[in-house]
Amino acid sequence: MFKWKELYSCNISKIDDQHKKLFEIGYKLSDLVRSKDDLDHYDEIIELINELTKYTIYHFETEEKLMEEYGFNGLEEHKKTHKAFVDKISQINISVIDEEQKRVMMEILVFIADWIEDHILKVDHMYKDFLNEKGVF
């Protein structure tokens, strides 16, 4: 979970670097949730969720600007998938995390990991060839 693989690459260095950063944040979250120290990691978890949310929004803006700049036809649909992810992450109930950290965070991690992998491999790769053909690398 949250391990970068070359098959995720869009051949666009800026986007790949941002995707790697998302994986890094996800890995940190996963590492905290899987820790066996029985300590309360609530503050660290909330900080990482906030970092993930902010960085994801920044990343989505970067993608959308590139797609708009080069006239990618699937931009509006792509924006909808971005909005759905941000909406879902924004709805995380922080009080529930405090009460049941491990269980709730595992559910959140699975959602984030699945979404990131699915989004990169399917949705982002839809613009990969288009932008690469326009000389964007």
- CA dist 81 and 73 (Å) reads 15
Burial class (CB in 10 A: 0-12, 13-18, 19+), 115: middle
Confidence at residue 40, expressed as pLDDT on a 0 to 100 scale: 82
Q: In CATH, which of 3.40.50.2000, 3.40.50.1100, 3.50.50.60, 1.20.120.50 is domain 22-30+42-129?
A: 1.20.120.50
pLDDT-based confidence at residue 41 (cuts at 50, 70, 90): confident
pLDDT-based confidence at residue 97 (cuts at 50, 70, 90): confident
Q: What is the pTM of this model?
A: 0.89
Secondary element (H or E) of residue 68: helix 42-69
Confidence at residue 35, expressed as pLDDT on a 0 to 100 scale: 85
b/e burial code for range 46-69 (CB count within 10 A of at least 16 → b): eebbeebbeebeebbeebbebbee
- CA dist 102 and 108 (Å) reads 10
Neighbours of 13 (CB within 10 A): 11
